[in-house]
Amino acid sequence: MSVVDEREAAAALEQLRVLVSADGADFELDGVDEGGVVRIRLNLDNVGCEECVLPAEALEEMVGDFLRSAVPGARAARVIDPRRYGQEQ
């Protein structure tokens, strides 16, 4: 079991916003589970072109790689992308 400090995950997330901010999107920390998976909600409210924002799979890989190196206990990232799920969950 991994314990991730949500404050550390949120601070790391600030550095990752550049991945989506140019297109008007944003990240929101949705929580951390006991297994070290950091849940991140992709906010597309201010996006004019949803297809211009990187796909969730690519974001999960990049964000997960960064979080594993920057946040003790982080094992993976799950991006909650309204494009993937049809609506925000």
User: In terms of residue numbers, what domain contains 65?
Assistant: 6-84
Number of domains in the chain: 1
pTM of the prediction?
0.84
Q: Is residue 19 part of a domain?
A: yes
Q: Do 41 and 88 contact (CB within 8 A), yes or no? A: yes
Amino acid present at 84: R
Q: Is residue 74 part of a domain?
A: yes
Tokens 């949705």 correspond to what residue? 30
Q: Is residue 42 part of a domain?
A: yes
Q: Is residue 45 part of a domain?
A: yes
Q: Is residue 28 part of a domain?
A: yes
Q: Is residue 62 part of a domain?
A: yes
User: Which residues on adjacent β-strands are paired with residue 26?
Assistant: 43
Q: Do 39 and 20 contact (CB within 8 A), yes or no? A: no
pLDDT at 88 exceeding the cut of 50: no
Mind listing the pLDDT tens digit for each residue in 19-44?
899 999 999 999 999 899 999 999 99
Cα–Cα distance, 42 to 79 (Å, whole number):
7
Q: Is residue 1 part of a domain?
A: no
